[in-house]
Structure formats: structure tokens, C-alpha cells
Amino acid sequence: MNRRKAAIAAAGTIAAGALTAGLISVPSAVAEDSSGPQARSGKHAGAAEARGVRKAAARAARAGIDWKDCPADWGIRDGVQCGWVTVPLDYAKPNGKKIRLAVDRARSTGGTAKRQGSLVYNPGGPGGSGLYFPARIPDKNPLWAKAATAYDFVGFDPRGVGHSAPVSCADPQEWVKAPKADPVPDSEADKRAQRKLAKEYADGCQERSGELLPQLTTPNAARDLDVIRAALGDKKLNYLGVSYGTYMGAVYAELFPRHIRRMITDSIVNPSRRKIWYDVNLDQDVAFQTRWNDWKKWVAEHDDVYGIGSTPEKVEAAWRKLRATAKKHPIGGKVGPAELLGVFQSAPYYDSAWARVASVWSAYLNGDEQPLIDAGAPDMSDVAGNKASENGNAVYNAVECNDAKWPSRWRTWDRDNTRLHAKYPFLTWANAWMNYPCAVWPVKQHRPLEIRAKTSYPVLMVQATRDAATPYPGGVELHKRLKGSRLITEKGAGSHGITNLKNPCINERVDAYLLQGTVDRKDVTCAPHATPEPVKSPAKAAAKAEAAAVPTMVP
């Protein structure tokens, strides 16, 4: 569930219009039965959807993927090829309208003798693009060099995202404008204003995204994943899912338990029906506060570098002062409390951001506002980037709002978030407004799948105990629900997306699983990866963070 939570559902000019881009028609075809027993029976998905995905997968297997050089404006580096996979808009109507999903790949490095298939990646969100994953091969990423000998690395834009029939809920240029209102309300009037914005945003989703909006669900994303598998020519799926990508993987495991060859879930969403999605987000509020406190302690330990505060309490006091200052006089006219949160929340998300955020803050305290303005203010000239950001936010809301029934009574939201904010103030109200469109959502909300599957091969799970975005109990819960799975716990660590961090205890087991198919006889606990080193210069800290970054956050 990676995204910029501080990008609260923004006020914007809502233009009417239905989504038509990317919709095509193809002839019908008779398909062979190629899915697992639960999909065949229609127990969870419905018989029509089960038949539809079998038809679509058979068609995709026959068509394959026409790999070509990637379009120049996609920003994909050399050494990666791009293509398209066609899927039904509605799996209950497989011969009806279709959408095309953008996919890309980098070929394995070990030759035909070592190749084991494709490794398909989803970075999370909902709303994240996986198209940057294959670059780990031509970039010679050392953590993935061994896996690259055996697998083509494959990324894709899920339905609604990026190049895959993208959806929208607001005019992107209006949506990114700043400063936005402080997400922490001072009055009932503030709450009414935020609720009004959320209703306008939800209505905008229906007006701007048309017939695709109701079809943006995790089960449909999992069905798309199986069609991609078939188009790649793989009999079974090799998959790496991070954050929300773990829930996509869990739903895939429930719908297609016999189609799994290798599956890694990294930083795991709690798949309990009771948790998806309202309670998952409430749990985040607690976990983000915990990890925020970890970061404050680290900043205080390096007060000789940053000069922010010599104790966590002093760092917290400095943070509250910064928020109050930005609320009264937005920094650079653009960076208020909401924009500050967009900058500072990356520290609880990722260890790689610790030094960058601290250095930007330190520069501000020493009289240089520009790094903080650059980090927090929107770039109105970046039209493409703003469009991608709004699109990611739209898909996030669409999928989570469609997947499950959310409380519709404001009294429930007000009670829960007021209570949580009293003890966990860092993210609570911003998270509430991010999700409040789901309380007034204009299309049907579904009941989540019950995830309890025995897969054709053990699923390997990786989870840090102090992860803010996907709290540790979620990993334990999925582990209980997928029979035969193995859980690697990184104890005392809290970064998100840890398979791309250097920790031999984890890295070596991931390689062994992908290359030899081996898992430990029992679950494993690993010591934490190295604690970040302080870097005072904002430019150097930013460069270091960029070098360490993994594509798991929605822009």
C-alpha cells in the first residue's frame, strides 16, 4: 500500500467524461480449461469470471507478446523491451470489450540452459507501475544478479495504471496544486470541508473513469496476472509482489493455487476479510507512529550532524514547530502541513530516506528553505509527472474502495480517527482523508475473498517487524492462510520492500528459493540490515537515497 498519503483527495475541476482510451475489440475464441480447481468451480470468482479468465488466458497463450523497443516517451532504459497483453474489461463477458496491459521485460543473462522462465513483478500501490523492475538486469543490480541468470524480469502496468487504460478522478494540474488544507482538523467545519472534497473526488472518479472504474478490483488484477503468465508462455507463474503486490499475490494464490511455481511476498498486507481495507489503514496509523519514533531517535543520535534536537522529544517539538510555521505561512508559498507530510512520511517508509529527510530539515533550520521547497512543492511544469501522480491516486482509491465494503457513517470514521489521533498523530487524519472517498463511493463495493489456499509450491514470505506501511501481523496472518508457506522475519527492522536491501540472511534465501526452489524446514528470523549512516548535505543524501531506491512507491 505504497503511495503519497499526504496527497489528500484534492479539490479540483471535475470534468465529465468516460474512459475510452485503450478499449479494443477482438474476435471470440474457444479456450481450453487451464485454471485451478477453485477458479474452475467458480467458488470465489463466479462461474462466468472463471470461464472468462480461461478463455482470455488461452487466447493470450496463442497470441504471445510482440516484443519491441519501448516507446521513447515511456522512460524505459535500453536493454528492456515492451509489449501488450489483451484482457477482458469484464471477465464475466470475455468476448466483450477489451483493454490492453503494458508489459516489459529484460532477458535472462544465463542462456537457454539456465533459464527457468519469467519473474513477474508488482510494486504495490494499488496504483504502482512495475515497468521499472526489468531494468535491474541491464543495470546489473548486484542483489538480483543471480536471479537474473535464470529469469526474464517482467514488469507491467496493472489495469487502470500508466499505459494500461489509465483512469483519472480529477484534473491532474488542479489535483497537485498546493498548499492543501492541513489534514489535522481544528474544527467541525474543517472536517466538513474535507468530507466535501472527498465526495467531489469520488464523484469525479465515476465521471472521468467510466466503465473501467467498477472493474478495478484485486481479483481482476489477479486474473490479469494469469493472462500475462499465459502470454509469456509460462505454464506456471513466478511472481514477486511487494506491499499491495502481496495482496494481489494472495488473491492469485486463492484463485489459481495450482498455477504457482515460485511466489515471493515482501512487506505483506493483512489479507483478513475483517481487515481489508478499513482496518488495514487504521493499523497503519499505529505502525507509522512507531516507525516515526524510530526515526526521531536516530535523528537525535546524530544531532551533531543535523542540529535538529538531541532527544526524540526535542525532535518532536521541532516537528510540531515546523508544522505550525508552515500552517501559518506556507514555506515558499507552497509547502504547508499536508505537503510537509508528503516529504516526511518517506522516512517511516524507507530507511534509505532517513538521511535525505533529515538533511533537508537541517538545511531549513540553517536558513536554506530551497531543499524543503523542492522536496514538498508540486512542479507545475511537470505535466506528465503530475498526470502519473493523479493516476496512481485514482487507482489506489478505485481498487481499495471497490474491493471491500467501507463504513458509510461519518460517525464511525470520526470516532475511530479521533481516538487514534490522540495517541498516533503522525499519519492518522491524513490517512483518513486519503481513504474517505470510499465512504461515499459511487459504485458497487464487494466482499473480499477468503484467502485460505494450499498452493502448488510453497510461497516465500519476507517481513520486517517494524514495517510502517504493512505492519508485521499482516505477514503472520498470510503465513497462516497459505499452507506450506515459509516466513522470513527481519527482526528489529522497519523498512518497506526489504528484498531489495542488503541483508545476506534474506538475500541468500531469496536466491536459493528462485534458483533451486529450496526453503528452510522452519521459519527463519534474521538480524536487521545495517542502520543508515548520516549524510548532512541534502544533495548527497538525495543522491544516496536515489541510488538505494526501489520502485515500490506510487509517485
Residues that are catalytic: 243, 467, 496
Asked if residues 282 and 413 have their Cβ atoms less than 8 Å apart, the reply is: no
Sequential DSSP letters for 102-152: EEEEE--SS-TTT--EEEEEE--TTT---TTGGGGTTTT-GGGHHHHTTEE
503 to 267, 497, 507, 526, 544: CA distances (angstroms): 15, 12, 6, 8, 18
* Antiparallel, parallel or unpaired: β 68-69 and 81-88: antiparallel
User: What is the C-alpha to C-alpha distance for residues 64 and 44, in angstroms, rounded to an integer?
Assistant: 28
Closest-CA residue to 546 (of 348, 390, 346): 346
Q: Are 392 and 379 in contact (CB under 8 A)?
A: no
Torsion on CA atoms 251, 255, 257, 261, rounded to nearest 10: -70
| b/e sequence 33-61, b meaning 16+ C-beta within 10 Å | ebbbebbbeeebbeeebbbbbbbbbbbbb
Place of cell 518497506: 496
Handedness of CA 291, 296, 300, 303 (dihedral sign): positive
Q: How far apart are alpha carbons 442 and 510 in whole angstroms? A: 42
Amino acid (one-letter) located at 545? A
Q: Are 179 and 334 in contact (CB under 8 A)?
A: yes
Q: Does residue 426 sit in helix, strand or coil?
A: coil
Structure letter (DSSP) for residue 346: H
